[in-house]
Structures are given as C-alpha cells and as structure tokens.
A and B are shown apart, each in its own frame.
Chain A
Amino acid sequence: MSDFLSLWIGVCVLGSLFVCHVLIEWVLHRPDERHEAHKVQYSHQSWGDVRSYDHPVPRSWLYLLYACTLFALIYFSLYPALGTFPGVLRWTSQQQYKDEVGEYNLVYTERFNRYLARSITEIASDPVARTTGQHLFMSYCSNCHQGAGEDRTHYPKLTDRDWLWGGHPEQIEATILHGRTGIMPAWGSVLGEKGVEETASYVMTLAGYKPANPEEVAAGKEHFAAYCAFCHSAGGRGDPRQGAPRLTDKTWMHISSKDALSEAGLEAGVRAAIADGFVNLMPPHWNTLDRAQIHVLAGYVYSLSN
C-alpha cells in the first residue's frame, strides 16, 4: 500500500469519527437545551400530522458513545486498522494462524507419532486408535469411500476380504500412501461385438451362473485365456499385483448392486466392462497426510475386515 493511500485511510477513519462527534456535540448543545436543561418540551415544529417532543438525550446513550469511541481509539492503536500502521500488538492473521498451528503441533504431534511405533494389527485391535482412524477416514476418505462399509459403485468395498491390491497390512498402507491406478483396457474393438458377448458368457459362468449356450461359453473361454488371463489369472482368480479383481466371487465394483441382482443386469454390466474398460484412481496421500496418520488409517481399514 502506498504511503498516500495509507494516510488517506487514516484520515478518513479518524476524520469520520471526529465529524460524527462534532455533529453529536452540536446536537447536544443546541441553544434551547442549554437554557432549559432537562425540561421536557414540545418542539414547536409540528409536521403536518406528527409532533415531536425534544427530550434530552439519555445519559446512558452518552456514556455508551464515549465508551465506544474510547474502544475504537484503543483498538485502532493496538491492531492494524489505519492503513499501514501495524498497531502496537503487531497482530496479523497470518501470524495468528502460524501460532495456532504451532500450538496444535506441540499438543498433538508427539502424541500421534507414538502410533508409528506400533504395528498395524495392534492398532486395528485398539478401540481408541480405531476411533481416531475412523475420524481421519470420515474427513479424508469418506468423500469417495463414504462411511466405510457402504456400497458405492466404482469404489471398492473396504469391509470385505476381497481386495484389489491385497489385504495385508503393509499392502493396505502402501495403497493409502502411494495411491493406486486400476487400469482395465477396453476390449470392444479387439473382440468385436460377438467376441465381447462370448467372453461375457464365460465370465458369467465364473460367477456361478449356468451357461445358456455352451458353445458360446467355450469360445469365451478361449478369448479369456488369450486376452484376460495374464491380468485376471487363469480361471479369473485375480491378481493383486495389478489390481485385477477376482471375477469368481459375487462382489462387483463397477456394476451397481441393483444391476448385479438380476442375471440380465449383471450380464449387461460385464459386457460394458469388457467393451469399455476402466481407469480408476485411488489418490496418493503421502503429500497430504503425515506418516502417522496413514499408519493409523491403515490400521482402521484393516480392522474393517479383520
């Protein structure tokens, strides 16, 4: 801020306080009041159909006026208000923020870091730590994963033992720390419409449905061995190294639980999955959370299924 602007602000602020006071004093000491102090009187004006007394201004109001003015002057000298004048206390909101973060760290960081010394399975079995983890989860993860255990299409369920990237405590912590990107290529153009249908029929048998057309399934099985098995493994057992889901269970991530209820709905979902593929991102957290928080979160997530 330039000096001129700063001066201008100061003059305006103090000036308007001053002018306000001059006006008030002028009104208070209009001649008639000085002569007939405290005497209730009709003002001789009547405005058409309204009239007005001219009672003196209540003392309480005057005291409040002086108190407020004093308050303003003190406040202006303590805090930044008059342009660039920083105030005697040299308070700034940035400094206050830094101080508060410092205080916070003093109280909590050390207490929290104690968790780092404990194993993830230990944390998972400690109710206090679990509550802490839950609070973290609700703040940082629930926007995608919702309250843990709730079903949401395109996001993995964390309460079951069916893992994309592995359910060992270390694997979970790695997932949270570095994030994961699940990529399933789109096979529509490779397999063609018929190929997709055949492969889908085969995948349906993996999920336990009776094949309607055994020939189609046989063709699908060949496709699967050729195009799918190196990710989903032979027989669709899944591969945690690539985040490829197991296809033999009844849990589906990309097919809504409503669609998965009926065979037709499920088959349509599987076909769409094969034809279009996915890119699904679990963001990394090493840059937003600290290690102890991630450690506790891993414990909490682990506890959900163990």
Chain B
Amino acid sequence: MVSTEALAYGATSPRNRYDYAVVRQFTVMSLVFGLLGMVVGVYLAGELIWPDLGFDLPWLTFGRLRPVHTTLMVFGFCGNLLFAASYYVAQRTCQTRLVGGMFPASVFWGWQIILVLGLVSESLGETQARKYAEFEWPIALFLVLVWLVSLWVYVATLRRRKATPLYVANWFFLACFVGMALSYVLENLLLPVDWFGMKSYSPFSGVQSAMIQWWYGHNVITFLMNMAFLGMMYYFLPKQAGRPLYSYRLSVLHFWSLVFLSVWAAPNHLNWTALPDWTVTLGVTFSVMLLLPSLAGVVNGLMTLSGGWVQVRTDPVLRFMAVALVFYGWATLEGVNMSLQTFNALTHYTDWTIGHAHLATLGWVSMMSFGVVYHLVPRLWDTKLYSVRLVEIHFWIALFAIVLHTAALEVGGILQGVRLRALDEYGNLAYSFMETDAFLTVPYGLRGVGGLLFLSGVLIMVYNLAVTIVRAQRKRAAIDARIAAKLAVKGLRAREGAP
C-alpha cells in the first residue's frame, strides 16, 4: 500500500529524502536542556547576590549547582545541538540518508540517559570534581561508548556521499567528534575504587593532573564550543543567506590552523602556577597564533554576507548568526589577551574570566545556536516560523543582555583584579579579601539582570518554536486525515465495483 506520507509530500519531499526523526528529537532536547541550564544559571547568579538562596539544602548549594549548570549547557545544550546539526548537515551536503537503522535513535536515547544520570549524581554530590568531567566512571564509560557510536553513524553517513570532497562544515564536525573522544578518554582514565561503587580517581596527580585537566578543558572549548559551532556557521550561514560561501580555501586554512594551533594552547589556563615555564611560554605563543583561525573564520563568514547586508537588516535569523560571528572574533581576541602573562596576572582568579566565558558562550555559542534552531525547526517540520517578529524581539533582548552581562562582569573583574594587587605607600595590600569581594554585589546584580533578560529571550524563542511545531503537526494531521479519507473512499468504491 502507498504510504500516506509519500502521497502527501511527494517522493522528492525532503521529509522522505532525509531522515529527520532523530534530528528533530535532538533539536527539541537541546532546547529543553538549554532552557533548564539557563534557569539554573540565573539561580546561581542569584546565589552570588543572596547566598541564603541555598536554603541549606546540599543539592541547592553553589558548589553542586554550578557543575549542574555547566553540564546542562555543555553536554545538554551544545551536545544535543551538535548531534542535531551534524546529522542534518551530513545528510544535506552528502545527499544521503542517515546510516545505521536503530543506531541514531540509540545515540539519542543513550545521550539523554547519560545526561539524566549525570545530573542526578552531580546533585547528590557524586562527582570527580574535575571541570566538564564531573561524571563518575560508570557514566563516563557509558558516555564514551555512546560517543563512539555517534561518531560511527556520522562517518558512515559521510561515506555514502557521491561528491568527492567533503563540504567544510563536515570537517569541523568530524574534528569535534574525534577531538572530543580523544580528550575525554585521556581526561577520564580512571581507577575505580571498587567495581560496585561510583568513586574513582585519576592516575594523574599534582601539576600533571592540572595540566591534563586544562588540556581537556581547553579542548572542550576548542572542539565542542568552537569547532562544532563553526561547522554550523559554515553550513547554516550561507544557507540562511542564500549565498555561496566566500572562500573555500580560506575555510580549509581556518580548519587546519585551528586544529594545529589550538591543541597547544591549553597551558594558558594555568599561567603563574607550578607548571614548568616552558609549557607556559609554549601555550602563550600558540594562543597568540590563534588570531589566525579566528580572523579566517570571521572574514569568511562576514564576507559571505558582503553585498547582502540588507538581508542582515531584514532577516533576524541571519542576524543572529552574523552577530554570533562578531562575538566569536571578539571573544577570541580577549582570549589571546588573557593568555599573555602580564594581562593574565591582573585578570586571573577574578570575575573577568567568568565574563569572558559568558561572552563566548552567550555571544558566540548561544547566538549561533539560536540562528541555527530558527533555521532548522521550520525545515524539520516542513513549515514556516510562527512569528518572525518574535525572533526580532528575541534578538534585541539577547544582544542587550549579553552586553550587560559581559560589561558587568568584566568591569567588575578588572576592579577586583586591581584591588587584589593594590599596595599602600608602605607596600601592604591595600584591601582585605572581603573588600576585594564585597563590592562585587553590584556587578553581580547587573549580571543577574543580564542573565534574566537572556533567559526571557530564550523563553520567547521556545514559545515561538513550540507554536510553530504544534501548528505544523496539526496541519499535517489534517492533511493526513483528508488523504486517509480519500483513500478510504477510493477503497470503498473499488470494493463496490464502482468505476
């Protein structure tokens, strides 16, 4: 029997040509975890202003909630979106369906189970206490397994393509998959205390442990938060603009310079520590050289839009992506500065670092994600966005929120750094620790407002997308019903022997 779907959309409909079921699921879960993560983030911002918000409940304290926030954002929001975008882009650019039968779905369910297990155990205090690698060994092991399956699905899909060279976006996704796998495994070489308990310890100790930890931490930023999102930029930005990418060869240079330079840069997170001097100077040099990929990406993206700036003014979805790219350039410039020892001595251990991290994650990662999701959802559900006006509103709220959030923390962080180092005329520290800290309530307040605004923007987006999806499904159900009715009538007539 002819499937109703084929009749409704025709054999060439993207619905049939591509396998979107799992892409849709990943997209939705990315939004769910992203929203949750931002709610937790705003709550944490509140705790910094009113410490009593912890209510003496262990799982509500700052120490437990903070890793919950980063896990939700890094693995929940970014991770799910990586899967959604890479599986979508691989199919579209290779003109093939997703490979693997039940495997894509198992990646989806595996990933969500990992997240739930991880978040619950973190809330209960079961954690390695290593940044971005809080999951204890059973969950970490499970994660590696699911990650390898997801890599296999991705590579097998790419191998089905007919055209020879791989579109550059796929290179970036591939680097993300492989790079994350390598780094995660090295960071999580763990010795379980016993086979039936959660607790485990890393074989590294002391400064080596710190180095491994930050090499991994830096790689999460490079591979998951840069590479994956650059991959999205390289596909979705030209797509949304309806213009060809500016320069293929520049994107190749972008890719290779980023891969070669970035894996060396990690020691810049450990300036002025017990790390041997040579590692630090190496890290500094390669961090400075990271200007190269950063400039390449920004130029390539923005030049793609040159001649089409009107579109950026009229299409808020494209504007999300373009502005994200500007934030990418800005954040990497800051990063280069922060790796320099002298500047680092001022900003390290202050809230500047948190400001910088959020400039990158709100400005670059989130803005790019919003653009991508606004582009994806209508295509995945074969419909139009419910309201472009709401997208426009979301854009301006988000932009304002980012500027407020960043300015508050970075200005506050610099003041904090200045106070931490200030000497009186007899060479004593001019401020007590409390005095370097207490005044931060004001920047923390502004940052809280910024976070709240950003969150409300996301709420608007989720509402907009939810209505879009529900309407699309209703429409589709109506069409399906009409076709089913027609088929039934036809069948009835055939049985009755009518012509």
Q: Is the CB of B249 within 8 A of A30?
A: yes
Q: Is the CB of B247 within 8 A of A79?
A: no
The 25 listed contacts between A and B (C-beta, < 8 Å) are: A45-B248, A48-B94, A48-B167, A50-B93, A50-B169, A52-B238, A55-B250, A56-B249, A57-B249, A57-B253, A61-B295, A64-B292, A71-B285, A72-B286, A75-B284, A79-B281, A93-B272, A93-B277, A107-B427, A138-B434, A138-B435, A139-B428, A142-B434, A143-B433, A147-B432
A27 to B248, CA, bound (A): 10
- Contact of A82 with B295 at beta-carbon distance under 8 Å, contacts A47-B167, A76-B285, A142-B432 already known: no
A92 to B251, CA, bound (A): 39
Tell me whether B429 is interfacial, beta carbon within 8 Å: yes
Q: Which residue of B lies closest to A53 (CB)?
A: B244
Contacts of A188 in B (CB 8 A): none
Tell me whether A268 is interfacial, beta carbon within 8 Å: no
A20 to B257, CA, bound (A): 7
Other than A48-B93, A56-B249, A111-B426, give 12 A-B pairs with Cβ distance below 8 A. Answer: A16-B260, A50-B169, A51-B244, A52-B244, A53-B247, A60-B295, A61-B299, A81-B285, A84-B278, A108-B426, A112-B426, A138-B429
Tell me whether A181 is interfacial, beta carbon within 8 Å: no
A48-78: CB near B (< 8 Å → 1, else 0) gives 1111111111101100110011011001100
Question: Which one of B167, B250, B431, B434 contacts A61 once the chains associate, using CB atoms below 8 Å?
Answer: B250
Q: Is the CB of A24 within 8 A of B256?
A: yes
A93 to B260, CA, bound (A): 27
Q: Which residue of B lies closest to A138 (CB)?
A: B432
Q: Is the CB of A131 within 8 A of B424?
A: yes
A68 to B289, CA, bound (A): 6
Q: Is the CB of A108 within 8 A of B427?
A: yes
Q: Is the CB of B281 within 8 A of A47?
A: no
Interface residue ranges, A against B (CB under 8 Å): 9, 13, 16, 19-20, 23-24, 27-28, 30, 33, 42-43, 45, 47-58, 60-61, 64-65, 68-69, 71-72, 75-76, 79-84, 87, 91-93, 104, 107-108, 111-112, 128, 131-132, 135-136, 138-139, 142-143, 147, 293
Q: Is the CB of B93 within 8 A of A61?
A: no
Tell me whether B430 is interfacial, beta carbon within 8 Å: yes
Tell me whether B163 is interfacial, beta carbon within 8 Å: yes
A61 to B235, CA, bound (A): 22
A47 to B95, CA, bound (A): 8
Contacts of A139 in B (CB 8 A): 428-429, 432-433
Query: What 5 A-B pairs have minimum CB-CB distances, sorted nearest first?
Result: A138-B432, A108-B427, A47-B167, A52-B245, A55-B247
A83 to B249, CA, bound (A): 34
Specify which of A9, A53, A87 lies most central, judged by the most chain B CB atoms within 10 Å of its CB: A53
Q: Is the CB of A47 within 8 A of B285?
A: no
- Contact of A19 with B260 at beta-carbon distance under 8 Å, contacts A45-B165, A52-B238 already known: yes
Contacts of A143 in B (CB 8 A): 433
Contacts of B288 in A (CB 8 A): 68, 71-72
Q: Which residue of B lies closest to A65 (CB)?
A: B292
Specify which of A56, A57, A71, A83 lies most central, judged by the most chain B CB atoms within 10 Å of its CB: A57
- Contact of A50 with B235 at beta-carbon distance under 8 Å, contacts A20-B256, A138-B432, A142-B434 already known: yes
Question: Which one of B245, B272, B281, B286 contacts A50 once the chains associate, using CB atoms below 8 Å?
Answer: B245
- Contact of A68 with B239 at beta-carbon distance under 8 Å, contacts A20-B261, A27-B253, A51-B245 already known: no
A50 to B375, CA, bound (A): 14
Tell me whether B472 is interfacial, beta carbon within 8 Å: no
A72 to B169, CA, bound (A): 29
Question: Which one of B92, B249, B261, B277 contacts A49 once the chains associate, using CB atoms below 8 Å?
Answer: B92
- Contact of A23 with B427 at beta-carbon distance under 8 Å, contacts A53-B246, A61-B296 already known: no
- Contact of A55 with B281 at beta-carbon distance under 8 Å, contacts A48-B92, A50-B93, A139-B432 already known: no
- Contact of A80 with B277 at beta-carbon distance under 8 Å, contacts A42-B244, A52-B238 already known: yes
Q: Is the CB of B253 within 8 A of A24?
A: yes
Question: Which one of A47, A75, A81, A111 contacts B163 once the chains associate, using CB atoms below 8 Å?
Answer: A47
B393 to chain A, nearest CB (A): 29
Q: Which residue of A lies closest to B272 (CB)?
A: A93
A56 to B249, CA, bound (A): 7
Q: Which residue of B lies closest to A52 (CB)?
A: B245
Q: Is the CB of A58 within 8 A of B299?
A: yes
Within 8 A of A (CB), among B248-278: 248-253, 256-257, 260-261, 264, 272, 277-278
Tell me whether B113 is interfacial, beta carbon within 8 Å: no
Q: Which residue of B lies closest to A33 (CB)?
A: B249
Q: Which residue of B lies closest to A55 (CB)?
A: B247
Within 8 A of A (CB), among B172-204: none
A47 to B165, CA, bound (A): 9
Question: Which one of A24, A93, A107, A135 contacts B430 once the chains associate, using CB atoms below 8 Å?
Answer: A135
Contacts of B165 in A (CB 8 A): 45
Q: Which residue of A lies closest to B235 (CB)?
A: A50
Specify which of A33, A71, A107, A135 lies most central, judged by the most chain B CB atoms within 10 Å of its CB: A135
Specify which of B245, B296, B429, B435 lies most central, judged by the most chain A CB atoms within 10 Å of its CB: B245
A144 to B232, CA, bound (A): 54
Tell me whether B492 is interfacial, beta carbon within 8 Å: no
Question: Which one of B248, B281, B299 contacts A53 once the chains associate, using CB atoms below 8 Å?
Answer: B248
Q: Which residue of A lies closest to B93 (CB)?
A: A47
A177 to B303, CA, bound (A): 69
Question: Which one of A53, A75, A138 contacts B285 once the chains associate, using CB atoms below 8 Å?
Answer: A75
A81 to B280, CA, bound (A): 8
Contacts of A9 in B (CB 8 A): 278
B283-319: CB near A (< 8 Å → 1, else 0) gives 0111011011001100100010000000000000000
Within 8 A of A (CB), among B58-112: 92-95
B288 to chain A, nearest CB (A): 6
Q: Is the CB of A54 within 8 A of B235?
A: no
A147 to B247, CA, bound (A): 62
B419-443: CB near A (< 8 Å → 1, else 0) gives 0000011111111111100000000
Question: Which one of B239, B256, B281, B291 contacts A81 once the chains associate, using CB atoms below 8 Å?
Answer: B281
Within 8 A of A (CB), among B389-445: 424-435
Contacts of A107 in B (CB 8 A): 427
Tell me whether B156 is interfacial, beta carbon within 8 Å: no
Q: Is the CB of B427 within 8 A of A27?
A: no
Q: Which residue of A lies closest to B426 (CB)?
A: A132
B12 to chain A, nearest CB (A): 13
Q: Is the CB of A23 within 8 A of B426?
A: no
Q: Which residue of A lies closest to B278 (CB)?
A: A80
A91 to chain B, nearest CB (A): 8
- Contact of A82 with B427 at beta-carbon distance under 8 Å, contacts A47-B93, A71-B285, A71-B288 already known: no
A20 to B261, CA, bound (A): 9
Q: Is the CB of A23 within 8 A of B256?
A: yes
A254 to chain B, nearest CB (A): 24
Q: Is the CB of A135 within 8 A of B167?
A: no
- Contact of A24 with B257 at beta-carbon distance under 8 Å, contacts A50-B239, A68-B291 already known: yes
Tell me whether B282 is interfacial, beta carbon within 8 Å: yes
